[in-house]
Amino acid sequence: MSAESGAGQPKAQRSAAGNVAFGAGMLLVLATAVLGAFAAVALLGRTVDPGPLSDVVPDDGHNALVVGGIAVGGLTGLMLPVILFGMVRGTEANGGTPRVGPAAAARKVLAVLVFDIWLLIVALLVAQLGWFLPARLTTVVAVFAVGFGWMPLAMVPWERFGLGEGFGKLRGRSASRQAK
């Protein structure tokens, strides 16, 4: 059972060096995601325990900020290398994926930072449940609230604000199949 290429499409050949480069890239992205999560948790822990948020966040809500820190650090650590790879990798030839320009990369980084701020606000709001709920229950609610925190942003009609024109367009072979 082998996968065959489409009609008229040459078979993609990967060299050993390409496989090693892909594996190294994946390890780098995963490492930055994990390290970003640890760094965000460490920074949030310093702002809550002896820092400026110590009066705002109850003791039973501390884990909600840890959950938010994991999400923020992991997302940022995952997306920044991917955006940077997109700036140096890509080609316009043969309908391939084009490189990401500096302006588009800056917009993507800004979008990641705005989303990070949104997730921190969600985590801070859930942490307030620590005034009423025990720590374990607050942590469970935080996992669901932060995990599904992207849904309100996904429902905004970004196209009306001029921010989402390129998201729904197909490229490459799938676009040529849709055109038929």
DSSP state of 166: T
| pLDDT of residue 34 exceeding 80 | yes
CA distances from 6 to 2, 67, 91, 180 (A): 13, 45, 21, 14
Domain residue ranges of the chain, discontinuous segments joined by +: 26-151
Contacts of 119 (CB under 8 A, 6+ apart): 68, 71, 72, 75, 146, 149
At residue 31, the pLDDT reads 86
State the burial class of residue 47 (Cβ atoms within 10 Å of its Cβ: 0-12, 13-18, 19+).
Answer: middle
| pLDDT of residue 178 exceeding 60 | no
State the burial class of residue 67 (Cβ atoms within 10 Å of its Cβ: 0-12, 13-18, 19+).
Answer: buried
Question: Using one digit for the tens of pLDDT, what is the confidence trace for 64-77?
Answer: 888 888 888 888 88
The Cα–Cα gap between 149 and 141 comes to 12
At residue 92, the pLDDT reads 63
The Cα–Cα gap between 115 and 112 comes to 5
pLDDT confidence tier of residue 91, bands split at 50, 70 and 90: low
Question: Using one digit for the tens of pLDDT, what is the confidence trace for 119-164?
Answer: 888 888 888 888 888 888 888 888 888 888 777 777 777 677 666 5
The Cα–Cα gap between 18 and 104 comes to 26
Q: Which residue has the higher pLDDT, 120 or 42?
A: 120
| pLDDT of residue 95 exceeding 50 | yes
Question: What is the pTM (predicted TM-score) of this model?
Answer: 0.66
Residue type for position 174: S
At residue 172, the pLDDT reads 46
Q: Give the Cβ contact number of residue 108 at 10 Å.
A: 17
Q: Is the dihedral of CA 146, 148, 150, 152 positive or negative?
A: negative
The Cα–Cα gap between 23 and 45 comes to 33
At residue 28, the pLDDT reads 85
